[in-house]
Structure 1
Amino acid sequence: MTEDRLTPLQIQAFARHLRLEEKSEATMEKYLRDIRAFARWLDGREISKGLSAAWKAHLVERGYAPASINAKLSALNSLLEFLGLGGCRVKFLRVQRRLFRDAGRELTKAEYQHLLDTAHRLGQERLGLLVEAMGATGIRVSEVRYLTVEAARQGKAEISLKGKIRTILLPGKLCRKLLQYAQKQKTASGAIFRTKSGKELGRRQIWAEMKRLCGHAGVDPRKVFPHNLRHLFAMVFYRTSRDIVKLADLLGHRQAGGPAGPQQHRDHPHLPGDLWRRTPADAGPAGTDLLITEFAFRHK
């Protein structure tokens, strides 16, 4: 393709390309949203190196966080390669990797429990169970669809995402709650968390419901987003086990048979950075079931 003007047909072709590349639905949605924003900003002008750089500057002027800008540039560069316009690619912003997370944004176990209690008090059973499931397993919001009736019966979920397959163990108490909820909703098979119309919950809806829950629970909304539940799981798991390698396996950040370390998380350091500065040399043997059960906080 050599057309230098971005058209709806090209965006549709790019969407098909992403699907053939086996990108996840969440990634496709994000890329296409960013590309359409670029197309609106471009306003019919021919794509050029100068305009690509100008869009990058535009994003900076708008006050987007550096990580958000780089995510948008990743989508743009992918599109440019697809269109045969690799010479118009732009460099990412250089962001110093933080070794320590902002303690003010860490969700505590007490706040986590308060969210659960508030959800149940408000009669939001689905949301409360979803928050509990994400906190007790460390799954990504894009992996919620793998929490199925079949997985709850087996006590484990097989997750296939980003070209990797891994197994998530589900605590027995959580499995019982998931199956009870599924039975109440008359869900005999497949994804447990669904909308009233029967569709699987999307990340936008999950995010929005969690933000609304913050107001009722009196928890800082900056702390409550799906990925922070993953961080909470990581912190509790590590403090219990001191096993950074096992944690990397559970979170899906380590290549099969490969080492775990900060070099694997340069672009997406999902594991709390301060964990990499600690050594698990003093860690004793600990079973995953024990650790996850410990993380369940003995929910009633």
Structure 2
Amino acid sequence: MSSDIDSFLAMLAAERGAAANTLAAYRRDLEGAEEQLGALIAADGVALASLGTAWSHLAPASLARKCSALRQFYAFLQDEGLRADDPSGSLPRPRSRRPLPRLLSHAEIAALFARAEEEAAGDRAETVRLLVLLELLYGSGLRATELVSLPRNAVPRDAPFLTVTGKGGQQRMVPVGARAQAALARWLALGGAGARHLFPSRAGTGHLTRVRLFQLLRELAGRAGIDPEKVSPHVLRHAFATHLLEGGADLRVLQTLLGHADIATTQIYTHVDSARLVALVNARHPLARS
């Protein structure tokens, strides 16, 4: 693949602080386009327009992401003087609506915690770890990557906060509730004092993976009598945000807690709450039964 892609990704990392997952996604998108068209630096508008047909099977959100990667790439080429023109205007412009996040009810959350607490009663390391992971996903709204990569020194001795490194290397302070603090204390007491990460891998050379976190949560959901397909780390993050908003949390506070750079990203939760209210009216209003 072309060195221009490497240079573009290096710029994103250095100047914009793009996260590793973002860089990997952009690389896949750009290299996929290059497999279709040949060297992207030489592609013209007609070639880029043909991607609309090649990518017609994709979901609107996936197509929008690929086109965004290409537009940014060609803007970079222009800025660097590697191209005089920008052919990305020929790319398709899909209309994508941000989907409403999947939600768990308060009863389902309670069932998950009841099962996790019951299993952790014996103070086995694996079960206490799972309880801590659940507490921090739902109690603090961490992203999966933020959670599994937490360094051990992110947990202060006295202050009820975690220092979290989010997307783009941005750090923020995340409050930790009393329940999560108690679970964390149990986990820290079980050992691992020499480990770099709060949740080290079995080999001890890295940290728990996102894939394993996903598997652990789905296995817990099955044992709690909940459809495993409904549960994931991101669903628990959504539940954290939605239930806080239902309880009266301010949208700007929620933006800070979630680590969103743009308030527009956080506003999706106002639509979730609105959808809940509409469902309530349809179910409870006297005219709904006439």
The equivalent position to 2:201 in structure 1, one of 195, 205, 208, is 195
Paired residues in the alignment total: 257
State the superposition RMSD in angstroms.
3.5
Q: Which amino acid aligns with 2:103?
A: E
In 2: Cα distance, 1:37 partner to 1:127 partner: 37
Q: Which residue is equivalent to 2:190?
A: 184
Equivalent residues of 2:142, 2:237 under 8 A apart: yes
Identity %: 25
Q: Map residues 245-284 of structure 1 onto 2, 5 A cutoff.
A: 245-253=252-260, 264-265=263-264, 269-275=267-273
Q: Please give the per-residue CA displacement for 1:30-57, whole angstroms capped at 9, x wherever unaligned.
A: 2223333333344668533333333344
Q: Could you tell me the TM-score, scaled by structure 1's length?
A: 0.69
Distance 1:142 1:73, change over 3 A: farther
In structure 2, list runs of 5 or more residues that go unmatched: 277-290
1:270 to partner: Cα distance: 4.7
The equivalent position to 1:26 in structure 2, one of 15, 21, 33, is 21
Q: Map residues 67-216 of structure 1 onto 2, 5 A cutoff.
A: 67-84=61-78, 87-89=86-88, 90=91, 92-96=93-97, 101=100, 105-117=102-114, 121=119, 124-125=126-127, 126-144=129-147, 145-146=149-150, 148-153=152-157, 154-161=159-166, 162=168, 164-188=170-194, 190-198=196-204, 199-216=206-223
The equivalent position to 2:248 in structure 1, one of 241, 262, 271, is 241
In 1: Cα distance, 2:34 partner to 2:171 partner: 35
Distance 1:39 1:254, change over 3 A: closer
In structure 1, list runs of 5 or more residues that go unmatched: 1-6, 256-263, 279-300
1:213 to partner: Cα distance: 4.5
Q: Which amino acid aligns with 1:109?
A: H
Q: Which amino acid aligns with 2:10?
A: R
Compare 226-235 and 180-189 and name the one that shifted more: 180-189
Distance 1:248 1:277, change over 3 A: farther
In 2: Cα distance, 1:152 partner to 1:134 partner: 18
Q: Which amino acid aligns with 2:94?
A: L
Q: Does 1:66 align with 2:63?
A: no
In 1: Cα distance, 2:176 partner to 2:232 partner: 21
Q: Map residues 30-49 of structure 1 onto 2, 5 A cutoff.
A: 30-42=25-37, 46-49=42-45
In 2: Cα distance, 1:176 partner to 1:66 partner: 44
In 2: Cα distance, 1:184 partner to 1:16 partner: 41
